[in-house]
Amino acid sequence: MAGNTGKVVFLDRDGTINEEVHYLHKPEDLRLLPGVPEAIRMLKKAGFTLIVVTNQAGVARGYYTCRDVEKLHGYLNEQLKKEGGAIDAFYYCPHHPVHGIGEYKVVCRCRKPDIGMFEAAEKDFTVDKAHSYMIGDKELDVQAGRNYGVGSILVGTGYGAELKREAEEQGREPFYDYYAEDLTAAARYIIEKES
Ligand SMILES: [Mg+2]
Ligand SMILES: [Zn+2]
């Protein structure tokens, strides 16, 4: 077990940290969303461990490889480090239950909203669920957080704002614990709640 505090923020990647680009896999197509480096710095300073959990079915579909995903994550962290922050660990699901090729076509436990990536993170980090959160721009992110048992935050970047509007139009009860315009607003909410 790592010597972290147990306060963990799990983050979706596409639409939450970087601009949603369909099947993003090339470093040159990576664009950090506004305010993201600052949000990462704020959370680190407040003692949170930052862990990315991302579904990457593009691997299953044969659009890009695990090596591409890992290279992109290395590049993403280089960009964040230039701004004084970094992600502590990346976990990704390369599978798809229907559209996968070969070994990647599988009903796995890691694809969000299932919680296999969170459980993998627990092998490397202490996770105090009562003081940990999941942030993402899709319902499956929020659902994964709920399934795992941490606070769930929907961000308005990526698909989030549209999703919130649709849910409200349908008269649904909010399916998330908190809605934040973007990652900076989510970070402010968490820090205030935990201090
Ligand atoms: Mg996303
Ligand atoms: Zn998987």
Q: Which of 89, 114, 110 is nearest to 11 (CA)?
A: 89
pTM of the prediction? 0.96
**Which ligand has the shortest distance to the CA of 155?**
1
Ligand closest in space to the Cα of 112: 2
Give the model confidence (pLDDT) of 10-61 as tens digits. 999 999 999 999 899 999 999 999 999 999 999 999 999 999 999 999 999 9
CA of 141 to the centre of ligand 1 (A): 8
Distance separating alpha carbons of residues 175 and 84, to the nearest angstrom: 33
Q: Where are the domains of the chain?
A: 8-194
Residue 9's beta-bridge partner residues? 50, 133
Q: Give one word for 36, left, alpha or beta, with left for phi > 0 and alpha for psi -120 to 50.
A: alpha
What's the CA-to-centroid distance between 18 and ligand 1, angstroms? Answer: 9
**Torsion sign, CA atoms 17, 125, 143, 192:** negative
Give the DSSP H or E segment for 154.
strand 151-155
pLDDT tens, 139-153?
999 999 999 999 999
Q: What spacing in Å lies between the alpha carbon of 95 and ligand 2's midpoint?
A: 4
Architecture of the domain whose range is 8-194: 3-Layer(aba) Sandwich (3.40)
Q: Which of 120, 151, 117 is nearest to 136 (CA)?
A: 151
- Please tell me the predicted confidence (pLDDT) of residue 1: 47
Sheet holding 151-155, edge to edge: 89-93, 49-55, 8-11, 133-136, 151-155, 178-180
Question: What's the CA angle centered on 122, arms 119 and 126, to 5 degrees?
Answer: 150
Among residues of the chain, what percentage have pLDDT more than 70? 99
Residue 3 has pLDDT above 90, yes or no: no
- What is the distance in A from the centroid of ligand 1 to the CA of 183? 12
